[in-house]
Amino acid sequence: MRARRGEFERIRSVLSEVDPEEPLTAREILDLLDEHGEEFESAHRVATVLGREAEAGAVEVIEDRPYRYRLGEGR
């Protein structure tokens, strides 16, 4: 569980720095992570991490094609 928490913290840190106005796709988030020197294996992994955090209410998932993600107020 600790590794997954670390992954979310890395995503949250980059998104807090960038502060996007609109929800982003997992691919867009992966690109931002890469630009900020954070390595993730795939957009699928980003989506998995964010999906798990959505269950706890930390992330809003907009079910569209493709899904989009927005961090909750506690970011």
Pairwise CA distance, residues 73 & 65, whole Å: 24
pLDDT digits (tens, 9 = 90+) for 12-52: 999 999 999 999 999 999 999 999 999 999 999 999 999 99
Tell me the domains of the chain and their CATH numbers: 2-71 (1.10.10.10)
Q: Can you give the pTM of this predicted structure?
A: 0.88
pLDDT digits (tens, 9 = 90+) for 1-11: 445 559 999 99
pLDDT the model gives residue 5: 57
